[in-house]
């Protein structure tokens, strides 16, 4: 199994570390030719979605990646990655893949002060959710499976082969969501 991690900007190194720890063959996607090798899954890391989107367009990666996601390539997206997948971004012209039928609001918790940790119970375990200038999912298509909902709104969803999280599982010591993503790949 080979997983490509988008490595143009943001917190990609942390995802690579987690996946390697789980025994996965990981490679960085920095330019178009990186997509020539076999790819079974894609990670879209956190960072700055406007910058990522601009770089994807400049590097000619935007349309090829969008097409692969539309064709069913399993994706794990975190934070800025979730913004890139979303169908609609409130009040924001950022170019995005629009493969995930949800609406997001960027920087929902504020730009500077909005980083925090939250402990939640999920499927019989305690998870530490780490939010950094996180978006909020404000609307979801009925077919989107909501995984985690907080008081203010939705922060984790799954839609067929796409998992999108508003927090950073790669910064916690828990590997639940990476393992869930690997199971999605194996199920294909």
Question: Tokens for 82?
Answer: 């979730």
Residue 76 and residue 177 in contact, taking contact as beta carbons nearer than 8 Å? yes
Which of 51/174 has CB closer to ligand GLN? 51
d(C-alpha 154, C-alpha 102), whole Å: 10
103, 107, 138, 174: which one binds ligand GLN (CB under 6 A): 107
CA distances 5 to 39, 91, 167, Å, are 10, 28, 17
User: Beta partners for 77?
Assistant: 44, 164
Spell out, one character per residue from 130 to 149, where the chain touches ligand GLN: x when CB under 6 A holds, - when not: --xx----------------
Select which of 15, 161, 168, 178 is catalytic: 168
Residue 80 Cβ, how far from ligand GLN at the closest point, in Å? 4
Catalytic residues: 79, 168, 170
User: Which residues make up the interface to ligand GLN (CB under 6 A)?
Assistant: 46-49, 79-80, 83, 106-107, 132-133
């Amino acid at each position: 199994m080979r997983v490509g991690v988008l490595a143009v900007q943001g917190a990609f190194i942390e995802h690579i570390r987690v996946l390697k720890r789980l025994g996965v063959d990981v490679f960085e996607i920095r330019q178009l030719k990186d997509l020539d090798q076999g790819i079974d899954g894609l990670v879209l890391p956190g960072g700055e979605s406007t910058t990522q989107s601009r770089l994807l367009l400049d590097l000619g990666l935007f349309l090829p990646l969008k097409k692969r996601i539309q064709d069913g390539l399993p994706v794990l997206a975190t934070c800025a990655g979730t913004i890139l997948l979303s169908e609609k971004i409130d009040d924001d012209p950022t170019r995005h893949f629009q493969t995930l039928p949800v609406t997001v609001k960027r920087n929902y918790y504020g730009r500077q002060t909005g980083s925090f940790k939250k402990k939640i119970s999920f499927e019989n375990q305690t998870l530490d959710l780490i939010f950094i200038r996180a978006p909020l999912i404000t609307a979801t298509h009925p077919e989107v499976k909501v995984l985690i909902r907080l008081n203010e709104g939705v922060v984790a969803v799954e839609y067929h082969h796409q998992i999108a999280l508003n927090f950073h599982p790669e910064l916690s010591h828990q590997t639940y969501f990476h393992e869930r993503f690997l199971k999605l790949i194996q199920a294909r």
